[in-house]
Structures are given as structure tokens and as C-alpha cells.
A and B are shown apart, each in its own frame.
Chain A
Amino acid sequence: MHKIAAKAVDWHAVREDFPILREQAHGHPLIYFDSAATSQKPRAIIDALRRYYEHENANVHRGLHTLSSRATEAYEKSRQRVAEYVGAASADEIIFTRGTTESINLVAHAWGGKFIHEGDVILLTEMEHHSNLVPWQLLAERTGARLRFVPVRDDGTLDLEQLSSLLTPELKLFAFTHISNSLGTINPVAELCEKAHAVGALTLVDAAQSAGHLPINVQELGCDYLAFSGHKMCGPTGIGALYGRAEVLDSMPPWHGGGEMIVSVTLEKSVFKRAPHRFEAGTPNIAGAIGLAAAIDYIEQIGRPAIFEHDTQLAHYAAERLTELTGMHVLGPTGERGALVGFVMDAVHPHDLTTFADQYGLALRGGHHCNQPLMRRFGVSGTTRASFYFYNTTEEIDRMIEILHRAVRFFS
């Protein structure tokens, strides 16, 4: 469904929207290949934040004055924008959070606390980021639930043959990533959701690496929850969202208590608002939400089909050119891959390589990428990752290959 024909985009003009890409590092033009960690921000988002603080800043949902009305309207309009962006049926299905991690923790606490009991099974995969693993470990510890894992094959894809034996009546939730942040694997979300639903389990999709890169429609995917972060899709840090199907959200108790989430409070007890406000205690990240909506406007103006095409082309080009280097091992699938490539080199340790590359202005990421179990699965202590976004170019990848050749000569 992300194969909708992409329109032609002037990518070099798009690149000009990002002031930070004119920076230098160690006397070289910056090559930013760490967008899977956090993306850079276009002028439009920086301006939107500034405009909010200069013209609209006030607290939301309570002041009766002009600015509070403006802030409330902008905040709730942002929620509507996020709902449209992921294809939710209603803005009430969107909860603003600090990001993917908090979104997943919200589900683990509010839903897990009520519905998960001893003996229940939560199914994950071996390729989950720690943010979609540790919250479930904590929940399992609290409740006596068990965790099960879909294995990853050598080619970086999920072993779906093993899945059927894991789909048991004890299964209550299947939580998995859309795109692996280390391997670049794109998982078949709709198929996985359908299989989990067939045994009565709910599904949670970690969309941290996909939300800014390809079209997402939660109703078509059929997921019950979808979590993502604003800062990986041109938005500010500290803002993200949790989509939850209305019926599921309505069944959940609050997790944080405080202002904004109540209807009435006595000294003894409180009555809570409905979703989504039930899950947003305290003053929210208003500017962040407005920044996220601005990021969505910006991305939609380019178009996600075009972005996906551009990003995966870069990833394929990089994966192909990397094989020119001797002692090079590229991880992940040979077929469709997300906007990143992880690799291991015989001659150079990832930390030496990233330190070396940085001296040439090239920002790579070395280490375990919050994927320690996956690193163990592939028998490595860490990898080097180059991750791309629509502002990157093939010329930058050519430059990376030159720098890697230099590194091999230097360290061999």
C-alpha cells in the first residue's frame, strides 16, 4: 500500500529547507547519516515553534482568555492532524506522549495493569528496540505474565513459520516493530495483525522508524495501537503519539493522575475524562504538538510515497556500494528495506569507525542501537549504522564509501 505512484520532487531544493545541513564538522561539510536516531528539522518547524511562542502561548483547556483559546485550538487541531496522518477514525484515538517509549509504557501500564494476569502471554520479536521490550519485561515481572518471541532469520526477516505455534489462546498482545532500527527490515504489519486477532489478541505497532517514511493507515493495517515519535519525522523532541482504537482506549483506566485528566475531584475520589484526555495528566507539551503537526504538514507537502521511494533507493544504493569493501558484512534483508543499513567490518570496530568518520564530517552511529538481544542473535557486539532521510543524497553515500575505504587502509 506504500507503492502509490510517487510524484517528482526536487530533492536538492528540499535539502535547502534544513539550515543545519549547511553546518561543518571538523572542517568538512556535514553528512548526516543518523536520522534513525533523530531527524533534522526544516525551517518550517522551527518557525512554527517560534510563531506559537510569539503569538499563542498559554495553557490549554482552562483559561477563558484569548491566548488560552488560541493555544487550545492549536493543540486540538494538531491532534486532528495526527489522526488524519495515521488514518485514525477520530482525533479521540490520538494521545499525545513524549514519544514512542512513553506511548508503549502507557499501554503496558494502563492496559497491561488491568488486562494482563499471571499465565498470560505477550508476544514480541527478537528484533525489538529496548523500548518495545523492557516495558513488557517490567509488566511480566509485576503480573507473572510470560514473554515469547518470534525468531529472526539470518536474512533479518521474521521467521513467520514459527509464528503459528506462538499464536496460542494465552496470547493477549502481539507488539512488534514496523521497521527494524538495526536491520531495516519492513515487517508485514497487516498480516501479523490479522493472525494475532484470529486468536483474540490485541496488536501494538512500534512505528518509530516508519511514521516519517511511508504512508500509514491504522484502519487498513488493522492494529489496535500504534506508537511513534515526532523527532524522527522532522518534529521536535519530547512529543510523540499513541494511536489506540476507541473501544480499546475506552476500556483502559488512567495511568498518570493530575490536572487536565479529571471531570471532578473530591478529597476522596475523582471522576476521569474520557480518552484521549484521560491519558494526558498535567500541562501537555503544547508547543511540541504544534511542532509535530507542522512536521506532518511539511512531510505531506512532499508526499510519503515519494519520500519512501527516495529513502529506500538510498538504502539500497548504500547496501550495494558497501559490498565493494573487503571484509564487509551488511545486515538485513536483500529485498525491501527501510531507510537504513547496518554493517560490520572485519578491519574496523564500529566505535573506531564512527570516531574516524566523524573527523571527515560524516555522522554514523556505532554500537548496539538499543538492540542488545538482536546483536547477540547475530553474534556481534555492535554494528555501524548509516540511516537516511529525504534530505540525503547519493553523492553523500559515495563520499561515505570513500571514507570507509580510507578507514580500512588506516586500521588494517
Chain B
Amino acid sequence: MPDLLIELFSEEIPARMQARAAEDLKKRMTDALVEAGLTYAGASAFHTPRRLCLTVHGLLAESPMVREERKGPRVDAPEKAIEGFLRGAGLTRDQLEERDEKKGRVFFAVIEKPGRPAAEIVAEELEKIIRNFPWPKSMRWGAGSLRWVRPLHSILCILSDEEGAAIVPLDIDGIKAGDSTEGHRFMAPGRFQVRDFDQYQTELKRRFVVLGATERADAIWQDASNQAFASGLELVEDKGLLAEVAGLVEWPVVLMGEIGAEFLELPPEVLQTSMKEHQKFFSVKNPKTGRIERFVTVANRETKDNGATILAGNQKVLSARLSDAKFFWENDLRIAKQEKMQPWRDQLANVTFHAWLGSQAERIERIAALAAEIAPALGADAELAAEAARIAKADLSSEMVYEFPELQGLMGRYYAEAAGFAPEVAAACEEHYSPLGPTDDVPAAKVSATVALADKLDMLTGFWAIDEKPTGSKDPFALRRAALGVIRILLEHAVDLPLLRVFTSAFVGRTVSVTSTEPLSFEQVQASAAADLLSFFHDRLKVHLRDEGVRHDVIDACLAMPGNDDLVSMVARARALSEVLGTEDGANLVQGFKRANNILTKEEEKDGVSYEFGADPKFAEAQEEVALFNALEAAKPKLDAANKAEDFAAAMATLATLRAPIDAFFEAVQVNTDNEVVRRNRLNLLSTIRSTVLQVADLTRIEA
């Protein structure tokens, strides 16, 4: 069985695209082979900056013959029918078989499609794959029309077995498949011939190319860790950077260098970010002090001077970069210390947050007002929260954040500390952006959580006010993430905060422009935007609770209750309901309730009456009927108390006590009797069941 080896050799492929491309090549090629009938024993894909490679071993030398039988018309069928059958099968009459079937003698066509050699199939499929490759971005070059991620230079495509290797004949826009490739661009220029995968991999290594990205990454990590360890230091882990750097080199050579002493006082995050973003350097820290003292760069070659020139060059570039960073840091610190960050806050008046939502300064004032308003609900000091809100985004005007936007918040914390603000305020600078995603922690500090909440609520109400909501996959302002952040902060801090009231305060002073066919007053528009935003929150909440294992119908049953804009109480209700539905009483109560509700709804429709007059125990006939009266009567004060205290577990437990009397009632009593008075009284009794249950949760929404 032959082995297939493909290498697509091009100019440098962006590091971030390589792994995915190698996987795509593997999947598309192996899928196509199997589809064509060519099974194989195994396949692996590899990538370097200049090549995508696929090896498939144990491939069938040719696809199996396919034999197909088609049943045709009877032998005495009209001539036309037989001709049609022959045309469809592509056979002549003498090639047909005749067989005896139940209905008589019938023609059969036996069509045999011969197998095809693997080379033919590979050539055909590889061309298709190359022409339709799913690069995130592709380009044309020269005078051609072929698209690839960067100019494609050569295609190696061979099938090899014991006899040797054979080139798969293929020509794509003038690029002919061959059996040779190149080694390292600088260390081993020139082409070499390839016989099979093992020889290819060995020969590449001899020519300074490590084919496996994992092997390159491991080598980098090992060598860098060892060099750091030998100096009593520690390499700072960064998996993303490691993968990227492994995608920039074919022959990794790790070089460790010193950071100039004049830069060692910079915050470690600044050093790390500057080195990573600009130079793709790893940071090396002193485990005793936590300070970053050295860097590791990964070159793509060995040199006669053991990398001395390369390291010196990198060091020089780093110094220039860090001089900038140091300049920013010192300037920023001066403004923080001497002017309490005020000039930055003033500058935010000139920064537009959104054309329709005013400047950053205006937004910050809104956040501060909202933070002061909601602070009591979180148990935070209102004045401190408002001050934190006013300071939290000041660092956006600092030079450091302008240069490294990813340091926003963190720099704010450093600068607020330097300016002498309260520790809660400084912490809020960093923490108020959280939670940034489902795995990011909710800020634990009350002031930080308050500002974080106000920030997100301002953003959501703002974009709702101007009708810029997320649609489908489009959510340019990350409003879904903001809403989830609000939900998590409210739940984790157990904040009783009716959202509609907060929305209304946040909407005040905004231009609200909700599209509507009918002209609406400002108040109406505001109310409808608030209602719409609340339902957006409810959708996010459903997703959040579903991830926690709460059923969607349980959530719906609780969302239908009044006060559903208080998410903490709404979730407590849902959890209690979820709990009770897990018990036997709970599950059966739903059945009993539905039965009562169904009968009642049907009769009410028939009679055109709402039976809400209250039932009278004096018309109760059966013992079970009396018992149900008593049970409902007994439950009433308990439910009222539980509801008032928002003790949903107690409310649910009380409901569960109704299960037995309801079941017994339906067992013994026929609601629709001939005695109209008794019948109406029973319908009113069912109505009491309904209204009692609906005080706790809308069980009509629970699915069986």
C-alpha cells in the first residue's frame, strides 16, 4: 500500500493561520479520499512558516471496482422503455442480462465501474482543495488568478511504496507537482529530492527545518526555561506567544538577553506587554522579587557568532521601545501625583464615546450618578463609589494606555495609587471592567462591583436608547457580554435591584429613539425601551441559568411572575421551583394543577364566564371536596407570609402540600355534574387552586 506525501511550499504564512490550515488540509484531503473509495491507515498534518504538509500512510493503490445492478423493464416491454433504460445505464442491449422474476422475465443491467488509480484521484482532489482552500484571507500575485495565503511556490506530491516514489501528475496554474522541496531559507538554500515521509522529515532536519510545530514549541520552551533556570530566574509562561513564535521560525534558536537597568523599575506588566506586543519576546522574572529582569527572543537561525549580533540588535530595539515606555510611565506618574489625574479627566470631554451617546466625560458622569444611586443596594459607600466611577477611566487619556490599550484599568490602578486615592478607588480602576467573560471573576470588592455594574448598565441603556441592539451574530459593542456581567454581579453579590427602576433613571436625559409605527410620547418610548431591554436581560439570564442546569420552562414559569425585573428574587424562585419539581409531590402537583386549569379553561370558554367568585364550602358534597377547601384555606396565610418574605422554598413547600388533596379531589369528584349550583361552585374551587398556585409560579408553562 502506498503512502501519500503532500507539501505546499509558499512564502511566509501568518503564524496565526498555520495550525488551522494544516488541519483543513488534512480533513479535506482525507475526506475526499474516503469519499472516492480510497481508505487509509493514518494521516498527519504539519506546518511551518513556509509549508503545509500532509502525510497519509497505508493508502489503497486504487479505488475498488464498484458493481451496480439495475432492474429494468420486462423483456416484452415497449421498445421505447427498453431504449430509455439502456440510455440511462449506458449499455447496449446485448450487455443486458435477463432474469426470471415473479412478474415475468425482466432485464437487468450490471454496471461495473472500474477502480481508479490513487494518483488520479489525489491529483483531482488536491487541485480542488487548493483552489477552494478556506484561508481567512487570501491573495493573488503576479499575473495569475490563483489565490493562496501568500504566493504559492511549489507543490510536492508523491505516492511512495517499496518500488520507490512516483510524482502525482498535477499542474495548477503553471505550478507543477514535483518530488523536491527546499530546506531553511538561509541555512540550507537549494532543493532536494524527496522519496517518502521519513526521509523528508530527516532531510528537513538536516537542512535546519523542524517540521512539527509542537516539537518547535517544546524545544523553545525547554531551552528558554533551562537558560532562565541556569541564571536563577524563571520564564513567564505564555502559551499564545509560544504558539505564535513557533509559527515564525523553522529552526528555533533561543537567545536570552538583559533588560537595561534603567528599565527595571517599570511595572512588570508594562515590561511584559511591551516586549510581547512589539518584539514577541518572552519575559524572564526573578522568582524572589517578581521583577522582570531579562527577555528571551527566538531567532530563526544559528550564526557563526552564536547569535551575538542578533541578540545585540534585539537588545537595541528593545531599549528604544522601553525608552518610550519609560517616558510614558514617568510623564503619567507626574500627572497622577501632581495633578491627581485631572488633566486626563478633562481630556475625556474631547473623546467621543459614541456619536449619539456623547463624550467619555459625559458617560463617566452618568456612571458616577448611577453608581451613587445603586451603591446602597450593594452595601457600598455611595460617595466612594461615585468617586471611583469618576477616576476609573481617567487612565484612558494616559500615554501608556494610548500606547498599550490592553493595559487600561491596570495602569489606572497604579496611577490612582500614586495619586493617593483610597485603595477602594484604585482597585475599582482595574476591576470595574470585570467580568470580561464567562470565566472572568466578578469583582469581590463592593465599590468595584458597584462601578462595574453602573458602567455596564450605562452602556446597555445607552445603546438601547439609540436603538443599537445586538442582532444575530453582530454585537460590535459586546452588549451581550455586558448584560451577562450585570447578571453575574447581581447574583453573586445578591443585589436586590429592580432593573426597571434603574433603567428609568439611566434613561433620563437621553434621546430615546425606538422605532415604532405609531408616534409615541417620550415616556412611552422610554417604557418600551426599558421593557425591551428587560426582555434582553431575561434572554441572557435563560442562557446563564441553562448553563447551570435550570430548565428553560422553569425559568419561563418564574419570569411570568410580577417583579421579574429583580433578577436575584427571580432566580431564587426558579431554583426553589426547580427543587420542588424534583420531588414526587411537586411533579404530581403540576399534573393536578394542569388538570384543574384545563377543565376550568374549557368550561369558562363554554360558559363565557370567569369563575372568580370564590367557592362556598356549604355546597361541598364529597368529603374530598371539603378537605380541599380546608387545605386551600390553610395554605393561604402560609403562602402570603412566604411570598411577602420572598421565601420561595417555603412557598413551594406549601404548594406541595396541596398535591394530596387535589389528587384526592379529582379521584372522588366529578366537576361537571347535573346540579348547576354544585358544578359552578366546583369550578370556582378550581379557580381558587389556579389563583393560589399562580401566586407562586406560572405552572401553566411547565412542560409535562
Same complex: no
Chain B positions within 8 Å of A, measured between CB atoms, are none
Chain A residues packing against B (C-beta within 8 Å): none
